[in-house]
Structure 1
């Protein structure tokens, strides 16, 4: 992606991890780890592993011509083949004997898959930190705004009163679930790949199992019980968890962007010079962070579809499906990190307008309290009859542009059931928020319990 659009949608550190130059560094780490593991198992000479490690320096690899490598990758079918040729040449310049053992007995997919897993591990650490930051911020805001009454909306219509703290608590709860999924997934997905040409490691003499264990230890990855060249569930599960994160962030961004609409005006993204403006309308304050998060939420499902399609492979190593991961997986990581970074920024700096919240509550002339009236009436009239009476009152209130309480006060069937004080209390939104405070406390309590684990 261009640098311009990367700045809009991605996160810099994760983008760096998946850059071309970083890929070469990860591939180098894999090749060095392979040599050391093979030497420890007696598959190659110890001196060869030392020579490979000493000469595969970051400085030497940095001199590899990316344009030439890219051109040869197109002909070879993957980047590992021309990369190994160049790495072998780098070692040969200083140690001809050691260069004979570079990439000994491995296949291209071994080093590409394992390098990819290393990239993912480093990117996941950043994503997990951002997700934790979003979660902790949502918890703080849930407490800060637990008593701020606002409209709850269903089907885009005003429904019943809630509190802003409850909305933040819901966001915190889903972010906590995302964190739990992210943590549990890593034990399965962050696994080394080493199987040789068809997964049998026949090229490792009789030391294949020992090499796999040593190789995995060198890279601090889980050792596979069995080669997984043709089974892509580890990759797809990892991406799927990130897709869930992005979907949840998109859900949040949809809400705060709607709450920024001029007609609602309850929340605003953080203000800043040059932020959210329009090229033609000086008055605009656009939800630019929400736009980036929602763009990610629109893009990621299609990328996930590509990964799901790629799970259906042929025999021991497949054609086309695995290769599609090289494009889809890094973009999912980058979009997820970018969406998280922007969400954290909004959660931390979100500006709230309590007056607008109160104004929106009152704009329907009390109609939002219709259910409260019905439930107060139902014990004496029955629910269906209460529903009919209050529905009739609502129609009159709308037709005559009157407050629902005033209409009810004129209806003999209803007004005789309540005193004026009782009716006033029924129409106070803060008296009809159910167990919202219990839910907020439960979310905060779960966070405290999690912190002690």
Structure 2
């Protein structure tokens, strides 16, 4: 998200902690977990002996993929999995080698890696959201009895308490936090469908293998593949767009309050102007508005990526890879910025 390669924007828009969840290392680690869990499932179904399975699992765990070769092959294959599996096949040996990746396909690994990344991202977002909710409660306890002039349709309305405006900020965020367990239920899904989504290569063993993989990875097996049903990732995208929208509303309000003056809000650490040294620009508040609008733009792209033709789409799938990590970073950096903004409030409202 460094605009046009301009590295100075990275501090405004990037979230390195969340970006790491979508890194090559994270993806390859997820692939390894999947392939090891798959072998366990095949062993439980009686398709691989326990000893051969354990030997193969140990070899998979020791595998270190050549990321540069995978990146190069990805231009040809359109996905990282084929080259990863080629390298892994060359690495392993033994009687069970032919069962490596048996019954799985590239999308099974990619989608499962994505939901594992999202689970990690959501743990980060939940922690940051809890921190922000606590800050808003503290701000209300400190300044809630102060008086603000309510504004409706950009015109002065009637006086009310500062706590009322803070509550309008807090309620949507609390609702989003309360919805996170349901979001986890929607997104923590194992993807397993095989070549065309019907698990035909596993036959009557499909349920056993799928349930074993899901248990090993701490995911839920929905009983079928979701190759062309993008509901899980859409649920994540929609939730994050709502989150950044709620934070953008806070940013918009605080920017307008700063315009109205000290009776509305007093902030520390505003941004400087090259032409007007007297100014303290509400940069963090403005950034929240920008980030909200950015995610609102990206979520439309995720709905475009919902349209998978037939049993699998390459084009729609690639669009997800471009958009979803950006939305996650935007949600993460928005929460960090919102915490900094709330923490910079010296006084909100006019003391009675």
Would you say same fold, with TM above 0.5?
yes
Rounded Cα–Cα distance in structure 1 between residues aligned with 2:229 and 2:245: 25
Q: Deviations over 1:66-86 (max 9, x none)?
A: 332211101001111111112
User: Across the two proteins, how many residue pairs are aligned to each other?
Assistant: 348
Matched, 1:248 2:246: yes
**Secondary structure class of the residue paired with 1:203:** coil
Match of 2:85 in 1: 84
Q: Deviations over 1:295-350 (max 9, x none)?
A: 21111122111111222222222342222111111111110011011112222332
Match of 2:171 in 1: 173
Matched, 1:299 2:294: yes
Equivalences for residues 157-306 of structure 1 within 5 A: 157-261=155-259, 263=261, 266-271=264-269, 276-306=271-301
Match of 2:30 in 1: 26
- Pairwise CA distance, 1:179: 0.9
Equivalences for residues 296-375 of structure 1 within 5 A: 296-352=291-347, 354=349, 357=350
Rounded Cα–Cα distance in structure 2 between residues aligned with 1:235 and 1:24: 20
**Secondary structure class of the residue paired with 1:147:** coil
**Secondary structure class of the residue paired with 2:303:** helix
Rounded Cα–Cα distance in structure 2 between residues aligned with 1:295 and 1:12: 19
- Pairwise CA distance, 1:135: 1.4
Which range moves more in the overlay, 1-10 or 253-262?
1-10
**Secondary structure class of the residue paired with 1:150:** strand
Rounded Cα–Cα distance in structure 2 between residues aligned with 1:128 and 1:13: 14
- Pairwise CA distance, 1:265: 6.7
* TM-score where L is the length of structure 2: 0.91
Rounded Cα–Cα distance in structure 2 between residues aligned with 1:237 and 1:102: 32
- Pairwise CA distance, 1:253: 0.7
Rounded Cα–Cα distance in structure 2 between residues aligned with 1:52 and 1:293: 49
**Secondary structure class of the residue paired with 2:132:** helix
CA 220–269 in structure 1, closer or farther in 2 if over 3 Å, else same: farther
Rounded Cα–Cα distance in structure 2 between residues aligned with 1:285 and 1:26: 46
Q: Deviations over 1:39-93 (max 9, x none)?
A: 22222333343233323347x43xx343322111010011111111122233x2x
Rounded Cα–Cα distance in structure 2 between residues aligned with 1:26 and 1:262: 51
Match of 2:54 in 1: 50
Which has the larger Rg? 1
CA 223–270 in structure 1, closer or farther in 2 if over 3 Å, else same: farther
CA 314–146 in structure 1, closer or farther in 2 if over 3 Å, else same: same
- RMSD over aligned CA atoms reads 2.1
Rounded Cα–Cα distance in structure 1 between residues aligned with 2:220 and 2:275: 55
Q: Deviations over 1:5-55 (max 9, x none)?
A: 333223332111112222222222222222222222222333343233323
**Secondary structure class of the residue paired with 1:227:** coil
Native 8 Å contact 2:207 2:223 kept in 1:
no
Bigger relative contact order, structure 1 or 2 (CA pairs below 8 A, ≥6 apart)? 2
Counterpart selection for 1:10 from 2, 14, 18: 14
Q: Which runs of 5+ in 2 are unaligned?
A: none
Which range moves more in the overlay, 165-174 or 256-265?
256-265
Q: Which runs of 5+ in 1 are unaligned?
A: 359-429, 431-453
* TM-score where L is the length of structure 1: 0.72
Match of 2:68 in 1: 67
CA 57–308 in structure 1, closer or farther in 2 if over 3 Å, else same: same
Native 8 Å contact 1:270 1:346 kept in 2:
no
**Secondary structure class of the residue paired with 2:99:** coil
**Secondary structure class of the residue paired with 1:295:** helix
- Pairwise CA distance, 1:136: 2.0
Which range moves more in the overlay, 78-87 or 325-334?
78-87
Runs of 4+ aligned residues of structure 1 deviating over 4 Å after TM superposition are: 262-265
Match of 2:41 in 1: 37
